[in-house]
Structure 1
């Protein structure tokens, strides 16, 4: 599968959000939107009204990562308002199969996220229900964290499970992805990369996306 880069607006300047989105519109594949509720994670960001506005203004499809309690209730609504991909956390969902199917029925790609300590093998049977598996490479809740190398074996295991299942599932990583770490993730088998400060902390965010993609493609042999 092709390498994809999904810049996270969590690291963008919210006072100039439209400009920040436009800065990556020509080079990125997705726009990553971190939705946090200050319950599932100790941080509060944005929610459905902002996502609705971004859907109307962004030329990039929205990749919504829901770090919230009760995703079974809320996740389908994000798909209904136009998000291209909606990811829920395995640790928070009470009825993941039903919720993942509801996301797909509403027209979005369905993603399942796993925290660093959550074993991937426990969710192997759900690969047929998802379009993307997100392996967190930091503890969720805050941007700018240091990449956790201990997750690399889990990325490799996730790629092995996906390959053995013959399911068409993207493997995303999120947390501490930068020019120093993206090659390790690509070598381990990831093909979709969320990058926040590595994109929006640069003078030219669009060029930063190009650099990250080039590094990942080289590491993956593409």
Structure 2
């Protein structure tokens, strides 16, 4: 099943609750949170308090992508706030096995994230322990960036790695994903599609969510 994960980073925070409800009605499968601390990436966004607020009113799984330093320190807070999926970067989490086990031990799905400039071989060992892997198709830090075309080839190679090491892993892709490039990403092997401005920049967010979800469902059936 191909899963759609709208990223609230691109939402209008004045209307955040309303817009989350719109993507839920439109058929979103997961709500994605881009958590940034201004150290690992050059931006600051939000923390567990916001996630907890949405959890009280949203039945969908919440996916916390932690672009932060000292992730192990904050993981319990995000789980307590209601995160169902938590992912951390291979680039700044040297004890990745321990971190993934921490996430799983707290009852959440554990993911490993890899940036565009990092060799896929770096995450090979982590694939034995993760529930999902998040392939960045832009440099993390800001929404609305242009998709890095080489990410399609990286996705194909990652799909081969996952199939040979741990076929149960889901591959999530995040960055510059729009309605017009999801077809290529489905064919290359992605399972979960994080989309920010490709949904929230539209006047009718519910309808845009529904349109992309319908396209993913149709592609899955091919």
Q: What secondary structure sits across from 1:149 in the alignment?
A: coil
Stretches of 4+ aligned residues off by more than 2 angstroms: 213-222
When normalised by structure 2's length, the TM-score is 0.94
1:178 corresponds to which residue? 178
2:69 corresponds to which residue? 69
1:202 corresponds to which residue? 202
Q: How does 1:59-208 map to 2 (within 5 A)?
A: 59-208=59-208
1:137 and 1:175 in contact (8 A); partners too: yes
Instruction: Encode CA deviations 1:12-31: one digit per residue, 9 max, x unaligned.
Output: 11112111111111310000
Instruction: Encode CA deviations 1:155-210: one digit per residue, 9 max, x unaligned.
Output: 00111111112431110000000012111111110010000011111122222122
Q: What secondary structure sits across from 2:92 in the alignment?
A: coil
Q: What secondary structure sits across from 2:209 in the alignment?
A: helix
Distance in 2, matches of 1:115 and 1:166, equals 20
Q: What secondary structure sits across from 1:91 in the alignment?
A: helix
Give the drift of 1:77.
2.5
Distance in 2, matches of 1:165 and 1:220, equals 23
Distance in 2, matches of 1:119 and 1:217, equals 31
Give the drift of 1:106.
0.9
Give the drift of 1:90.
0.7
1:37 and 1:68 in contact (8 A); partners too: yes
Distance in 2, matches of 1:209 and 1:147, equals 19
Q: Say what the alpha-carbon RMSD is for the aligned residues.
A: 1.4
Unmatched tracts of structure 2, length 5 or more: none
Unmatched tracts of structure 1, length 5 or more: none
Give the drift of 1:58.
1.7
2:14 corresponds to which residue? 15
Q: What secondary structure sits across from 1:193 in the alignment?
A: strand
Instruction: Encode CA deviations 1:56-84: one digit per residue, 9 max, x unaligned.
Output: 12222111111111112222331232211
Distance in 2, matches of 1:166 and 1:113, equals 16
When normalised by structure 1's length, the TM-score is 0.94
Instruction: Assess, with a 3 A threshold, how the Cα gap between structure 1 residues 160 and 220 changes in structure 2: closer, same or farther.
Output: farther
Q: What secondary structure sits across from 1:139 in the alignment?
A: coil
Distance in 1, matches of 2:122 and 2:89, equals 13
Greater CA drift, 4-13 or 45-54: 45-54
1:50 corresponds to which residue? 50
